[in-house]
Amino acid sequence: MLGRSSSFRPENLGQDALRLIGNLCFAVFVLLVLVFTIIAATYNSSAAVIAAVAEESEPEVNECNYGVDDPIDCKLPEVFHLMMRHAIDFFKDIHFYKFGKPTTGAEDGKTCDMAWRFRPKDAKRAGFYKDYRRFELSRSANCTYSVVSVGEYHSGVNAKKKKKIKAGTSYVGDKGLVKEKEEKVVVPEIGEAVNDALPVVESEAKFRAGKYLIYNGGGDRCKSMNHFLWSFLCALGEAQYLNRTLVMDLTMCLSGMYTSSKQDEEGKDFRFYFDFEHLRDSASVLDQREFWTDWGKWQKKDKLSMYLVEDFRVTPMKMKYVEDTLIMRKFGEVEPDNYWYRVCEGETESVIQRPWHLIWKSRRLMEIVSAIASKMNWDFDSVHIVRGEKAKNTEMWPNLAADTSPDALLSSLRQKIDDGRNLYIATNEPDTSFFDPLKDKYTTHFLDDYKELWDENSEWYKETMELNNKVPVEFDGYMRVEVDTEVFLRGKKQIETFNDLTNDCKDGINTCRTAAS
């Protein structure tokens, strides 16, 4: 039989119960002390945090080490943040993408220059813009900064990015263009330094390895700019199809329809009107003067051959496997069979795609567009008013003159544009005082209101003169059309002559497109 332990003897039960109760009470006491200690520690910690927060929230006594009239340090974070906030509040009609750090402005030490990239809020045209402005600042006795005023477009010249202009290099490889294709959409950046230097071939070996296409002669010269582009893009499209470098003539003839003399004018530079940097960086092209210089040096030595084509009906498809270094298309003197664009007609039309995306308007001209829009704070409506010879030809446009008279315009625009708005008027009417009656309801703006943007003191004037061997360049009729059109397209509301102001057809009587049934 299992013996019972002495601790469970009846005579010991009372003592065991007392001992158990004592241990239990001691444990409870220890637990209470522990809980109290934790509570006390937590309370002290919280009190310390609260005290610290309270200490931080107390107004800090600003020890201002500057005098009110001392020069302002534009690199101070509070100055940078103030200028950013002020720009965002001041320019309500643009989206900011990036601010540059402020730099010192004028020597008086009271101004800072800052640049930024932006897009208009209601932009219908793809592109980024760059502006740099001069901010006049003030400082109070306790070193609180404030903005006194903001300068005009591109007034903050010390914030302008200085870009070194390097000579262009060719992109000629074993078989024409050798570049990685980028998937992202490329948009123009207006306001950046332009590098439209001519491309060159770096070595004899690279020239020998290249394949080239050149169009020679033809009747396209001195035609309208639309005609020129239609033909030029045919040549560029064929060069891309054949995987060859297009050898192009950058010297253009401007039609008399765009010149003040009303005569055709030779010697114009492609870069006056179009963004050659974008074309050069996106396609394989060479200036023909550079090409013929290299051809003369290396053609015989390297036994380079030329394939001559004198009939535009020889399609690109038939020349796909031509191995000669140079393909020359030579055009005759009989118009219209000597137009370049004839190459892209017929069966070729479905094969050659004109690369319109490679032709951008000159960024120097687009800089003028941006300046005009900025002077109206990008908050304006626009109307395109066609008059001129069309308004005089009542047989083809019987209603145009009456429909674009000041009284008729006031009646038409009243329903479309609110009173008091900035109204940009793009027009071929030479006498802008014709539109004076509109000033009673709108703040009117015309291209010639901004002549300082292309006069002899402007950046455009200086840069185009550099391109033109130090000879001043006229701001000609086609440049005016480009700028006028682009400003019009940046209006928040855009009113067209033939769509909105008159029932006459754009191309004359009975030429209006019929509505699709």
Q: 255-290: per-residue pLDDT in tens?
A: 999 999 999 999 999 999 999 999 999 999 999 999
Q: Which of 44-53, 196-205, 394-403 has the lowest mean pLDDT?
A: 44-53
CA–CA dist 498, 491 (Å, integer) = 17
CB neighbours of 33 closer than 8 A, spacing ≥ 6?
none
Q: DSSP letter at 501?
A: I
Maximum CA pair distance of the chain? 139
Average pLDDT of the segment spanning 246-263:
96
Q: Does 103 or 39 have the greater pLDDT score?
A: 103
Four-residue CA torsion sign, 67, 72, 78, 81: positive
Q: What is the full DSSP assignment across 273-285?
A: HB-HHHHHHHS-E
* pLDDT surpasses 60 at 18: no
Asked if the model's pLDDT at residue 488 lies above 90, the reply is yes
Residue 382 contacts residue 417 (beta carbons within 8 Å): no
Instruction: Tell me the per-residue pLDDT of 288-305, one tens digit each, with 9 for 90 and over.
Output: 999 999 999 999 999 999
Token match 């309370």: residue? 43
User: Interhelix angle for 363-375 vs 477-488, to 10°?
Assistant: 50
- At residue 330, the pLDDT reads 98
What pLDDT shows up at residue 165? 45
Q: Which helix (H) or strand (E) holds 241?
A: helix 225-241
Q: What is the mean pLDDT of the chain?
A: 86
pLDDT, one tens digit per residue, over 110-144 is 999 999 999 998 777 778 999 999 999 999 988 89
Query: Which stretch of 66-70, 315-319, 361-365, 464-468 has the lowest confidence by average pLDDT?
Result: 66-70
Rg value, the chain, Cα: 37
Q: What is the mean pLDDT of residues 153-166?
A: 78
Q: What is the pLDDT of residues 78-111, one digit of tens each?
A: 999 999 999 999 999 999 999 999 999 998 899 9
Q: What is the pLDDT, as a whole number, of residue 68?
A: 85
pLDDT at 26: 53
**Predicted confidence (pLDDT) at residue 8 exceeds the cutoff of 50:** no
For residues 179-200, average pLDDT: 74
CA distances from 179 to 21, 139, 244, 308 (A): 91, 53, 13, 28
Q: Which long-range contacts (CB under 8 A, 24 or more apart) does 62-71 make?
A: 62/142, 62/143, 64/141, 64/142, 64/143, 65/143, 66/139, 66/143, 68/139, 68/140, 68/141, 70/109, 70/139, 71/108, 71/109, 71/110
Query: Within 13 Å, how many C-alpha atoms sit on residue 407's CB side?
Result: 2
- Token pair recorded at residue 407: 């009284």
Nearest to 357 by CA among 128, 184, 163: 184
Q: Identify the pLDDT of residue 513.
A: 75
pLDDT at 143: 87
Closest CA to 315 of 281, 337, 343: 343
Confidence check: pLDDT of 354 > 70: yes
Residues forming beta bridges with residue 443, ordered by sequence position: 422
What confidence score (pLDDT) does residue 19 get?
55
pLDDT at 458 over 70: yes
Global confidence as pTM: 0.81
Q: What is the pLDDT of residue 328?
A: 98
Whether residue 155 is predicted with pLDDT greater than 60 in this model: the reply is yes
- Residue 437 and residue 105: Cα distance in Å, rounded? 42
pLDDT at residue 49, as a whole number: 36
